[in-house]
Structure 1
Amino acid sequence: MTEDRVVADGLYKAFGDNEVLKGVSFRVAAGSVTTIIGPSGSGKTTLLRALNALDVPDAGTVCIGDVSVDFAKPVSKDELRRYRMQSGFVFQSHNLFPHKTVLQNVTEGPIVVQKQPRQEAEAAAVQLLEQVGLAEKRDQYPYQLSGGQQQRVGIARALALRPKVVLFDEPTSALDPELVGEVLSVIKDLAVEGWTLVVVTHEIQFARQVSNQVLFTDRGVILEQGPPDAVIGDPKEERTRQFLQRILNPL
């Protein structure tokens, strides 16, 4: 039986009067791919950011690997730091350090956060850059790269921390259409290698191809979840059907 790598239970998050997450619960098996789909404003990105505590939940518990946090109680800085180290985050718009080279961007976390020796961190970073097809760009700066290449550096940076789960926030939404494929290809390769991935995406066919589990969110709740053939291929909820109809048949 596959162990659960992520267990989220009863997550709530509000910004002022706007309740964005309303008691969200789900599990992610180790070595699996979970995609989160849904309309804009449905809470997808907030849910992902809550898993990394970039947006600290107001209530609920999350367990990643063997680190568990109950957000209804005060959480110390040390607890939060240890919890955040369990996951890597890939942002929509890369968020690379513009004044650092590609190699320096990838080694920043291992050296500064995890206190790895520089030589060890750089050797691992070069391997990761080879994995995402950018080893020859190691000494270049972000402005010298295409958007797709920057996003692949962002993926390598997240992997460098050897996290228990990698979180992707709409990793292709800021890219020109012709660059989308190169980033999705890297994510597919990571899935094949057995990384545990949670991906917020509008790429429905990608979600169908790589997911073990699809979550459909709407108005702060998970309305439907299950394997892609069920949620995307044969949704039970009328709201899910409406959403997929608009995405897959826009005209």
Structure 2
Amino acid sequence: MGDLRVRARGLQKSFGDNHVLHGIDLDVAAGTTSVLIGPSGSGKTTILRSLNVLERPDSGTIRIDDVEVDFATLPDKGGSARQQIAALRAQSGMVFQAHNLFPHKTVIQNVIEGPVQVQKRPLEQAVDEAKALLDQVGLSDKADQYPFQLSGGQQQRVGIARALALKPRVMLFDEPTSALDPELVGEVLSVIKELAAEGWTTVLVTHEIRFAEHVADQVLFLDEGVVVERGPSAQVIGDPREERTQQFLKRILDPA
């Protein structure tokens, strides 16, 4: 798979008595797109949030580039734990189901917030880069507008620009179109497709199976916290080997 950008091993996660992840392994090569599919509650979003340490795995290791955290030995709290989590989190940019923009800030203020406040980059540089990113996602004319003045699809594209502004090593998309009206889905998917074509490393959770089939270098089908099947999209979606995968895809693609 070429140079690995993301390597996760043995990820375990429980919420109380609910054991959500059962020893998940994940490899993502640099410049590729990996798509996680599966029924609701299968653990897809928990994997994504674990990579960004929005959810802290109970055990297992995650490495993004040269930053690795072993969650089995990570202290529960303290300076060392915070530093390790911050270092790993800084490697990725997260795009959520809901755009989560600051409503009182303009579009460009939303995009520069992370680079200026978190990464301490010079304001002028951050603004120039933000303008370029807004142009990239087709929103150069919306820089001075507020989120309430934008459609849902436009707000989500601002969310993508905001994540890109942090210059992450990997982009994480958590069902980025699930909260959108159907007619707005395409404009967000087209941006993700362009990022994949440009060589961004991405991990995407989505129910848009046909989109996944076209954009993914590898697809992982999850069910009940385990990876049931993984491989190229042509195999996992086009010709799945596992019965559970076949059943899921039939229900999604041929509901009648």
Name the TM tier (shorter chain).
over 0.9
Identity %: 66
Inter-partner Cα distance in structure 1 for 2:51 and 2:122: 28
**What's the counterpart of residue 66 of structure 2?**
66
2:253 aligned partner, one-letter code: L
Give the letter aligned to residue 53 of structure 2: A
Distance in 2, Cα, partners of 1:53 & 1:176: 29
Partners of 1:188 and 1:145 in 2: how far apart?
A: 22
**CA-to-aligned-CA distance 1:136-184 (integer Å, 9 cap, x gap):** 1001111110000000000000100110000000000000000000000
Matches within 5 A, 1:16-31: 16-31=16-31
1:130 counterpart = 2:135: yes
Count of aligned residue pairs for this structure pair: 251
In structure 1, C-alpha distance between the alignment counterparts of 2:100 and 2:133, rounded to whole Å: 18
Answering whether residue 249 of structure 2 is matched by residue 244 of structure 1, we say yes
Secondary structure of 2:19 counterpart = strand
2:44 aligned partner, one-letter code:
K
**Counterpart-to-counterpart distance in 1, 2:139 and 2:181:** 19
Q: Could you list the runs of 5+ residues in structure 1 that have no partner in the other structure?
A: none
Residue correspondence of structure 1 range 205-224 to structure 2 within 5 A: 205-224=210-229
What is the DSSP-based 3-state SS (H/G/I as helix, E as strand, rest coil) of the residue aligned with 1:5? strand
Question: In the alignment, which residue of structure 1 is the partner of 2:57?
Answer: 57
Match of 1:12 in 2: 12
Alignment of 1:146 onto 2:151: yes
Q: CA deviation at 1:2?
A: 1.7
Match of 1:167 in 2: 172
Q: Which amino acid aligns with 1:51?
A: L
Task: Tell me which moved more, 182-191 or 68-77.
Answer: 68-77
Structure 2 partner of 1:35: 35
Superposition deviation, residue 74 in structure 1 = 2.2
1:40 alignment partner, SS class? coil
Runs of 4+ in structure 1 displaced over 6 angstroms? none
Structure 2 residues not aligned, in runs of 5+? 76-80
Q: How far apart, in 1, do the equivalents of 2:174 and 2:186 lie?
A: 16
Aligned twin of 2:206: 201
1:83 pairs, out of 72, 84, 88, with: 88
Alignment partners' CA distance in 1, 2:106 and 2:21: 37
1:99-130 CA-to-partner distances (Å, cap 9, x unmatched) read: 11100110011001110000000100000000
What is the identity, as a one-letter code, of the residue corresponding to 2:27? R
Quote the offset at 1:65 in angstroms: 0.9
Task: Give the TM-score normalised by the residue count of structure 2.
Answer: 0.97
Q: What SS does structure 2 have at the residue aligned with 1:25?
A: strand
Q: Distance in 1 between matches of 2:4 and 2:23?
A: 19
What's the offset of the Cα at 1:79? 1.3
Aligned to 2:191: 186
Q: In structure 2, what residue type is equivalent to 1:237?
A: E
Residue 9 of structure 2: SS of its match in structure 1? strand
Tell me the TM-score normalised to structure 1 length. Answer: 0.99
Aligned to 2:78: none
- CA drift at 1:14: 0.5
Equivalent-residue separation in structure 1 for 2:255 and 2:103 (angstroms): 37
- Secondary structure of 1:236's partner? coil
- The two structures, once aligned, show a CA RMSD in angstroms of 0.7
SS at match of 1:175: coil
Q: Which amino acid aligns with 1:240?
A: T
Decide which of 97, 100, 113 is 1:95's aligned counterpart.
Answer: 100
Letter of the aligned partner of 1:189 in structure 2?
A: E
CA distance in 2, matches of 1:74, 1:181: 41
